[in-house]
Structures are given as structure tokens and as C-alpha cells.
Amino acid sequence: MVAVGPDAAFGVHKAGQAGRSFPLSFSVREQAGAWLVTGTAARAADIADVLARGMANDTVLIHSMETTAFYDEDNTPWPLSRVLAEYGVAGTVHPMPAWAAGGVGLGTDLLVLHRDDLGRLLADDWSPYGLGFIDLPGPPSPARLDELALAIGTTSYPEPLVPALDGTSLRFSGHDDCYLLVESTVPGFPGAVLGRLLALLVGSALLGLRAADRVEAPAPIEVPEPAPELPAQLIADSPYWIGVLGPRTETTVAVHLTAVSESWRLSEELPTEPAHIATLHVPTGTWRLAPA
């Protein structure tokens, strides 16, 4: 079950000047033994457990964490060590090499922590508008940190990063706590991301129905993810998908899914002729995928 609250990305973000609901978008490709996945819309906190399962290692290196949540009264940003202390997370902060600080995908510090602490660090109402991390086989040496900063700062999408880093199995890059780009070598990971996006979209729709009759924001709800076979079937049919909400009630929510030829962009119109409809029956918690 996935907890979906009113701060989930599908409920907060709007697309285009018309303020239309944000669609589910998903793409996947395999290169050099890693799957590169892009998608919308999810906060890092909403998929932290999925990301942890997509790692083969226990050490996480956060190389970028940009947020407006942690500032003193004089507008001085908190150091990462203070952020860790705020959430009771054990970790080690290293200064970013001077030649790399502030580069593309790089912050001013490097943070090393255990992957079990990643969800605890993100599990609050603060939102990083820029977050990037990789996993590592173990705590890196100072020389290795320099090598990693160079590799991260000189690699840009669509070039994959994970195959170039010995021992790394996952890379995450999030923008506006909405857009995600993930690489993973773990089998089944792309389907896990697509399944989570479906659950988040449906959960936001159910929250919207409940909020219509309330003054205060509704409490988070628990939504089941589809069985792995459902997203696996979609990925087998096409590497690119757009999902928009169809008819929904308190008991049934439909997602209209359209296979497209490339990744969705914010400026593009949403498709109107779906290939499949994924439906959640809320009382039984069961998902069904059928041709449109």
C-alpha cells in the first residue's frame, strides 16, 4: 500500500498556463546494462522506498540537495549537517571539491548516508526542488569523491551515468520534486516505478473527490499498487506512456494510457485516444488492465 497525501505531486503541480492536471508520463530504455527511466509526477519522498529497492548497495551519496525549506532568519541556508541533525539521520558531510562546487548536478557539499535513512530524511513536508544521488559499494575515499564529482558533473542526459561508475547500481535526479530521472541495474525496477506512478495518480484523484466536500485538506489515504504483471505488460507494449485520469468515483478510478513515440514534454498536448485503461476497484484493492 502507498500513502498518498494532499502534497503529492499529482495534486500540487499543474501543466501549462491553463492549469490542467498533470499527467502520468513514463519512458524507459536500456543501455550498457542499466535501465534509464524518466517520469512524472512524483516527489522524491513518494518513491524513496522504490528507489531503495532499486539499489544493490547500502551506501548513498547525495551530490545535490537544493531546497528553500532550511534557512535561518537572516536567509542563510542551513548546512547539511544541521539538516541531518534535524531529522536524526546519521551521515557524513564532505565539502565538494572547489573546482566542482555549484557545477551541473552538483551542490556545495557531498552527503554520505545509509540507504535506510534516505526515506527518513525525505519523509516530511519539505520539498527539494533539486535532488541528486547515487549508490556506492561503500563509503568513498576523498580521492574517490573527486572522481565521482568529475563523472557526475560531466555527464548529462541522455548519456547514462551508472555504467561509467564502477560498483554503482542506481542514480536519481529529481527536478521541482515532480520530474524524475532514474538509472538502475536492478531487474524489475522500471515496472516498480510505473506501478508507483499509477498508484500516486489514482490516490490523488481519490483525494480530490474527498476534498470537494471539505473545507480542510483530506487526510492521506492508502492506495494499493498494481501487481508487477500490469506495468510489465505496458512496458512490453511500449517504452513510452502517457496516463490521464478517466472516469472516477469513490469506488472506481480509471487511468487512460496512451503509447507514444517519445517522452512527453510540458508544452505538448495530451493524447485523447488511449490504448489501454487501467482501473482500480477501491473496495477490493484490485487493478485491471484492458484495451480501451
- pLDDT tens digits for range 235-278: 999 999 999 999 999 999 999 999 998 887 777 788 888 999 99
User: What is the pLDDT averaged over residues 52-65?
Assistant: 94
Tell me if the pTM is above 0.75.
yes
pLDDT of residue 14: 57
> Cβ neighbours of residue 207 under 8 Å, at least 6 residues apart?
4, 5, 6, 8, 11, 218, 220, 221
Tallying the residues shown for the chain, one arrives at 292
- pLDDT tens digits for range 71-123: 888 888 888 888 888 888 889 999 998 888 888 888 888 999 999 998 888 87
Residue 289: is its pLDDT beyond 90?
yes
